[in-house]
Structure 1
Amino acid sequence: MKVLALADAFAPLASASDALAWVVVLGFVLASALTWAGRRTVARYLASGTWALFGVFWLSVFPTFWFEMKSAIEGSLSLVAVPACLYTAYLLYDGRESLLTLSHAVGVMGLIYLPAETVPLFRRFLVETVASQTYAVMTALGYSPEFVPIDKEGPVYGYLAMFVFEDATGHTYTTHIVTACTGIGSMAIFGGLIAAVRAPLRRKAKALATAVAIIWVLNIARNVFIAVAFGRQWFQQDAFVHVATEYAGYQDPHLASFFIADRVIAQSLSVVALVGITWLVVRQLPELLDVIEEALFVLTGTEYDLAAAIGQPVRADGGPEE
């Protein structure tokens, strides 16, 4: 009852999340334009206000992650992002202009991600492409779920992107692809970071291609794992069922396999994968270290010299040694 009351309290804010996202992205883009125009002080104040709104945005999506999706990892990260964004806003207001680069990166991330989330034509193409490739891999591995249009209400209703497994008793287990299952969020992160730094276009293109290719392959593998693990009920051991029903809020015990596969294993490994991809991309584009150092300063309050820490050689003009 208390959980429902808390979810209801967040409802008005949650309903404004899409609008907030667009306002935040436009704010960061305008701040970037002002920076390029040489009006850095105005850009800094605008970016500061936009970061504060970004904190409100993360608060607005918390109930979706925590109550609807029952994702402790994403829900917790969204809450952590609130004070982090507010602190970034304070630092910019206080004069830390170096955070304008991070602000530019976030703006580009939004320009990549939001069309995929909000433009139906783009969303459908992306979702159905990922779904068809996921299905192809499953069938190649010897699994044969039905591949049918999504019959659940929502933005992806009617898309050919749902997998239906059936057990010996006739019980069906369905999963379907949504925008978050396409990997576009992770691609947007690296796209924004790479776009924000000054470096030769060739190296930036190579770094982006590396990140996107790895993310795409790992994301297909993730989708296959979740669909098969749930469809074949791999994680129905008593301990997992107990955790899913008693602590994660799932009423149907059959969803324990989905909870463990997606919310625990896949999401945890996604964090590890992002760290690994970041390391690979930084080897090709060490200019990213400046942006990462700024993010770490926001999180820890400590200045870092990551180039020295990882032994990355850098040329006098700011590029890596060839």
Structure 2
Amino acid sequence: MIEYLVLISCIGFLVSLIPGLHRKYAAITGWVFIVIFLFAALPEYFSENNFLYPLMAVLSVPFLVITIKYLLAENTSVLHLSRAAAVAFLIYAPFAYLPVAGTWLISLVVGQIIWLLNFFNYPVSLDAWNIIAQNSFRVEIILACTGIQSIAIMLGVAAAVPTTLRQKACAFLLVAPTIYILNLFRNVFVIMAYTGQWFPYFPDIAGNGEIGYESFFWAHNVIAELLALVVLIIIAYGLFTLIPQLGTFADELYQLYYGEIVRELGLIRRNGPDKPAPAQNPAQVPAPGSDEPELPKI
């Protein structure tokens, strides 16, 4: 059921690519349903002790309010941000909703992970076509383990502003191979750390009731997530160098969202808790299922 929220969001963003008066409403639909998805997925994130996505869900609420406000005002920067989301979904959707494409990509990644593990003299076995096992621990490789989401997001960012053919080609070469290869090593690290029980620390924080889960928590939810964030920031900087307009675009978005939050917080302080802030017209605002425990999924 939850996957339909992503599908509706995807459709909304893709429709927003079609010129017309409907674009802003289609984009709003896309943003609304992706935020609903984040909250609907909270039980799964909490079961995995993953606190990054719940934090994103909380932060998505003010983001959504501001985004809707400026989409209704047809702010150019926010429309371009929605175009970036639409392009990201356009890249991601075939792998998410066409089983043949998704299965092919997962199988490709599984084969390359096993090759790398053997290269590092860490032999493993396959309990199923996408389940890697070692030392009685098993890890399931799903679509999220392939790096396609990060690749789609960064290529979407690159498509947020008009670019030349050369810039498009350089952006693709910077994003896709880099993220794909680094993601393979991320998977290898997490599998080795989990099945080898490298980080059996602080079970009260990192445990979820499964034997040995602490090592998966520290390897996947902490170390790998933080390193991935650093890598994405570096890639974003590379994109800003290749496409200078992206730097201007990012600055405009920062000024818009940060300025809006600061303005609203200022109004709350001036008006106090019992006095509502005066309404603002957006157009007048300056535009800145099994009994077995679920396997860890990288």
The TM tier, using the shorter chain, reads 0.7 to 0.9
Partner residue, 2:41? 61
Partner residue, 1:112? 91
Match of 1:243 among 182, 186, 205: 205
CA 1:96–1:226 in structure 2 vs 1: closer, same or farther (change >3 Å)?
same
* Amino acid of the structure 1 residue aligned with 2:46: W
Within 5 Å, give how 1:304-315 maps onto structure 2.
none
Measured in 1, the distance between the counterparts of 2:104 and 2:164 equals 31
- Aligned sequence identity (%): 28
Stretches of structure 2 that go unaligned for 5 or more consecutive residues are: 262-298
**Residue pair 2:109, 2:184 contacting (<8 A) in 1 also:** yes
Measured in 1, the distance between the counterparts of 2:26 and 2:106 equals 35
Paired residue secondary structure (2:163): coil
Measured in 2, the distance between the counterparts of 1:147 and 1:62 equals 30
**Residue pair 1:52, 1:86 contacting (<8 A) in 2 also:** no
Q: CA deviation at 1:161?
A: 2.3
Partner residue, 1:164? 133
Within 5 Å, give how 1:146-161 maps onto structure 2.
146-149=125-128, 160-161=129-130
Paired residue secondary structure (1:98): helix
Paired residue secondary structure (1:175): strand
**Residue pair 1:138, 1:144 contacting (<8 A) in 2 also:** yes
Partner residue, 1:215? 179
Q: CA deviation at 1:179?
A: 0.6
Determine if the alignment matches structure 1 residue 233 to structure 2 residue 197. yes
Measured in 1, the distance between the counterparts of 2:248 and 2:162 equals 11
Determine if the alignment matches structure 1 residue 259 to structure 2 residue 217. yes
Measured in 2, the distance between the counterparts of 1:72 and 1:161 equals 26
**Residue pair 1:98, 1:294 contacting (<8 A) in 2 also:** yes
Partner residue, 1:124? 103
Q: CA deviation at 1:195?
A: 2.5
Partner residue, 2:147? 183
Partner residue, 1:312? none
Measured in 2, the distance between the counterparts of 1:125 and 1:209 equals 21
**Residue pair 2:200, 2:214 contacting (<8 A) in 1 also:** yes
TM-score for the superposition, normalised by structure 2: 0.81
**Residue pair 2:106, 2:130 contacting (<8 A) in 1 also:** yes
Measured in 2, the distance between the counterparts of 1:164 and 1:279 equals 37
CA 1:283–1:257 in structure 2 vs 1: closer, same or farther (change >3 Å)?
same
**Residue pair 1:161, 1:177 contacting (<8 A) in 2 also:** yes
Structure with the larger RCO, 1 or 2 (CA within 8 Å, 6+ apart)? 2
* Amino acid of the structure 1 residue aligned with 2:175: A
Paired residue secondary structure (2:212): helix
**Residue pair 1:28, 1:107 contacting (<8 A) in 2 also:** yes
**Residue pair 2:66, 2:260 contacting (<8 A) in 1 also:** no
